[in-house]
Structure 1
Amino acid sequence: MVTTAGKCHCGELRWEVTTAEAPVHILCHCSACKLIGGSDYTLNLVVPKDNCKITSETQPSVYTYKGDSGNDVQCFYCPKCTSHPWHYQTVNADNYVVRTALLEGAENFPVAAEVYNKEKWAFQPQIAAPESVFATVPPS
């Protein structure tokens, strides 16, 4: 098991994420990630909810929107600077989608996959191996 610390932009909200192996990035090209993150994709990893814990006194605020499935998605964010440590999708009940760019050492994590490639902007190069690129999400 690997435990990796994360923090928001202002440093008020801190957390730890425990993964079975060293963390990787999964690039998400969906329109919601683009709007919330203000970029052309986000860097993520799906982690069991029990493997994510807040380590600061500051607790996250929550914003809820409807995901592609029509179900609720809860975005947890720092109440001061609005950095998002993770999202919770009700269709993925036992997991959080962790924003890996906010974790220590993120600059060294490899890219494992790309999801929502159907919404990828034309100028973006493919980064993940072809077998790890999915129009929406990988089959279960």
Structure 2
Amino acid sequence: MTEIIEGGCLCGQVRYQTSCTKPLFKVNCHCRDCQKLSGSPYVAVMGVPETSFSVTGDLNCFEHQGGSGGTMKSYCCSKCNSRIYGTPEIAKGMVLIVAMSLDNPEFYSADADMFVKQAVSWDMMNSDIPKFDSSMFRRGG
């Protein structure tokens, strides 16, 4: 039996699931875009293969430049505007799920912090996980 991880938006109109129970990575992103999009010091995201991910409900998509310099597409519920996931140009075939949209957010535990040079001074990061000044990922790979 395949285990499924599920989540959705605040109002319940958007639902998603992934069969990827071992995400490719789980990071806290401290870039300014994530700070502005979330209204908090970072966004907790986990990467899963696009082929393992499905979503239902009406979504809005907006594009912006990510910290890598490439395009990031962010998907939000069209009704309550909850940010659900993103697809980065730098990592084609990957979906970045906003971890706090998980039905069970306890599933998430960060493996690393990235864009720590952009972190606010009062952000209390976990000293036990690796830190990256910018993205953990590089363009083209």
With normalisation by structure 2, the TM-score equals 0.86
Assess, with a 3 A threshold, how the Cα gap between structure 1 residues 126 and 80 changes in structure 2: closer, same or farther: same
The CA deviation at 1:110 is: 2.1
Cross-structure match for 2:15: 14
2:70 aligns with: 71
Q: Residues 56-135 of structure 1 correspond to what in structure 2 (within 5 A)?
A: 56=56, 58-127=57-126, 129-130=128-129, 132-135=130-133
Contact 1:24 1:109 in 2 (8 A): no
AA of the residue aligned to 1:134 = F
> Aligned partner of 2:132: which letter?
F
Shift of 1:26: 1.6
The reply on whether 1:46 has 2:83 as its aligned counterpart is no
- The match for 1:138 is 136
How far the C-alpha of 1:20 sits from its partner, in A, is 4.2
Distance 1:128 1:93 in 2: 30
Unaligned 5+ segments in structure 2 are: none
8 Å contact kept, 1:76–1:87: yes
Could you tell me which amino acid in structure 1 is paired with residue 125 of structure 2?
Answer: Q
1:17–1:51 CA contact under 8 A, matched in 2: yes
Compute the TM-score of the two structures, normalised by the length of structure 1. Answer: 0.86
In structure 2, do the counterparts of structure 1 residues 70 and 23 end up closer, same or farther at CA, with 3 Å as the change threshold?
closer
Aligned sequence identity (%): 19
Shift of residue 111 of structure 1? Answer: 2.3
What is the CA distance between 1:4 and its match in structure 2?
A: 0.7
Task: Provide the rounded CA distance (Å) in 2 between the counterparts of 1:24 and 1:69.
Answer: 17
Cα deviations by residue, 1:67-100 (Å, 9 ceiling, x for unpaired): 2233211101100011111111111111111101
